[in-house]
Chain A
Amino acid sequence: MEHVMFVINNAPEQDTPARPERDALKEWLDEVAPVRRYGARLRPPADSTVVRVRGGDVVVTSGPFAEADEWIGGFDVLDVPDIDQAVELAAHHPGAEGGRVEVRASWPFDEEA
């Protein structure tokens, strides 16, 4: 089943991760390569763009929508048989140390409840 991992940072926003962190990430990507469908690192919230429709008007503002101590730094979509495997791989992600990784199963549109 498809699980999406959100990598949540609580460190100050940075432009570039330090070298050791990048190495750890590379290792992790190698490990999950067989089950990883897609994923990405994300630009920091300061670079986000927020879209709302109000009374038919499109309102575009520069993000972030609200100041937050934590922010999503990236995500990964994994195809694993159960939550135990998703948790095991999440625990290996370098972002789990210090930060948090939130795992949620995807919810197909044709599935109720």
Chain B
Amino acid sequence: MAEPTDLVAVRAALERAHRDEWAVVFGTMVRLTGDWSLAEDCAQDAFVLALRAWQRDGLPRNPGAWLVTAARNRAIDVLRRRRTEQSRVEEAGRLVVPETAEDDERLRLVFTCCHPALPMEGRIALTLRAVMGLTTAEIARLFLVSEATVSQRILRAKQKIAHAGIPYRVPPPGLREERLGGVLAVVYLVFTEAYAPSNGAVVRDDLAGEAIRLARLLVAEHPADAEARGLLALLLLQWSRRAARFDEHWDTVLLEDQDRSAWDRAAIEEGQALARSALSEGDGWYALQAALAAQHARAATAADTDWAMVVHLYDRLLAVRPSPVVRLNRAVAMAMRDGPEAGLAALDDLGRPKELDGSHLLSAVRGELLRRAGRRDEALRATRAARELVRSPAEARLLDRRISELAGTAQPETSLSANRAQAASRKTTT
């Protein structure tokens, strides 16, 4: 323990500690001081101090405890300098760092960050900062907004927690079940933005993995909640395709073209079991989406997909929450089951819902179905309209390929199907 340690080993240990202990250090400091900004600064400082101290003194046996102690000492220093907050100084000085059940601390933090009195973008930014340990720069890159915007969102959220009196806790029974749904929604959004950014930001598989870890914790703590299980199932089933979804140029590989042997079988099996268990307790928003993902995971090849079952599951999903994007996906499944004209008829029924205003999805799907129906000129028009609206560079390249094929300037591919359109719309299902 007293041996100096080289920088590489310290950095590796710190990286691990940051992944595993950041939320615990942050949460413990919130609990000790009741001040979210102070907690954030002290947690940050503790990791900076660790870099030097661990090189000098060697790695501590319990890095988490070391970091909490360092953060606490820093907080006491700061509070002592703030003369006006005498009572807090005494409180912090008196407090011996409590026995911390790490998972409890993480839960308190995530339930508070996802409090419904906070605006959604504040919930997400604060969860990424406090629970996941991302810097404001990393969050800014994830959402393609400026760092100043992220800082402002986090600051506003912290201020609202203080001013409105949002308690730092896991809500008591009764309220807890009601609040869980809001937490699941934030975990899902974090996963989606990390795993399949809708805006062309860099994919963050590490962060998607952290979202899964959090979903796992929520399932462990709420064994009776079928939607928590459904969410974990959905994330695992999407995650199982991570090695197959991009080619060497980082272009999207469509579900039907993916190398299914590269899918993560362990994740699929766990996801399928959880999806079955969740769905056996009734139709839930996440459970049904997991069941849909499981249909694709089960099919040995794209052609083996049970499209009748997929349409049936979309119908049930629409009964839970009518959403234009779900209806769009259902139209694609209809096309796979009954042919492109049936899909186009379903699209006509959908009309032009205002939720899809400004989105490329409707035109992209229509273009693909028209192409499959052999209506080439109409297909070209629709696909060009989609290209005008698309935001993600990977999807833009996909549409460009399609446009040049339709315009006859490139060799048409031989096996094309509505999966293409479905893959484009799946990531924005919620």
A-side residues, CB < 8 A to B, are: 1, 3, 81-84, 86-87, 103-105, 107, 113
Contact = CB atoms under 8 A, between A and B. Distances in A.
Contacts of B159: 113
Interface residues of B, number: 10
A32 B269 CA distance: 52
Given A81-B165, A82-B165, 7 more contacts: A1-B165, A81-B167, A83-B165, A83-B167, A86-B165, A103-B164, A105-B164
A113 B162 CA distance: 11
A107 B165 contact: no
B120 interface: no
Q: Which of A3, A84, A86, A113 has the most CB of B within 10 A?
A: A84
A84 B164 contact: no
B167 A82 contact: yes
B175 interface: yes
Contacts of B115: 83
Nearest to B175: A84
Interface in B233-278: none
A108 to B, nearest CB: 11
Interface of B: 115, 117, 159, 163-167, 171, 175
Q: Which of A83, A103, A113 has the most CB of B within 10 A?
A: A83
Nearest to A111: B163
A82 B164 CA distance: 7
Nearest to A87: B117
13 contacts: A81-B165, A82-B165, A83-B115, A83-B117, A83-B167, A84-B166, A84-B171, A84-B175, A87-B117, A103-B164, A104-B164, A105-B163, A105-B165
A105 B163 CA distance: 7
A14 B164 CA distance: 32
A2 to B, nearest CB: 10
B163 A107 contact: yes
B399 to A, nearest CB: 44
Contacts of A86: 165
Contact of B166 (A83, A104, A107, A113): A83
Contacts, number: 26
A3 B164 CA distance: 8
B182 to A, nearest CB: 13
Nearest to A84: B167
Contacts of A107: 163
A45 B154 CA distance: 38
**4 shortest A-B CB distances, which residue pairs?**
A82-B165, A82-B167, A83-B164, A83-B165
A82 B166 contact: yes
Nearest to B155: A113
Contacts of B163: 105, 107
A83 B175 CA distance: 13
A84 B175 CA distance: 9
B228 to A, nearest CB: 21
Contacts of A81: 165, 167
A1 B167 CA distance: 12
A3 B117 CA distance: 14
A58 B117 CA distance: 40
A35 B159 CA distance: 25
A107 B162 CA distance: 11
A3 B163 CA distance: 10
A87 B167 CA distance: 12
Contacts of A1: 165
A78 B115 CA distance: 21
A32 B165 CA distance: 19
A87 B159 CA distance: 18
Contacts of B166: 82-84
Contacts of A83: 115, 117, 164-167
Contacts of B175: 84
Contacts of B167: 81-84
Nearest to B164: A83
Nearest to A3: B165
Nearest to B174: A88
A1 B163 CA distance: 10
Nearest to B172: A84
A79 B117 CA distance: 18
Contacts of A84: 166-167, 171, 175
A1 B115 CA distance: 18
A1 B175 CA distance: 20
A47 to B, nearest CB: 32
A83 B117 CA distance: 8
A1 to B, nearest CB: 5
A113 B160 CA distance: 11
Contacts of A3: 165
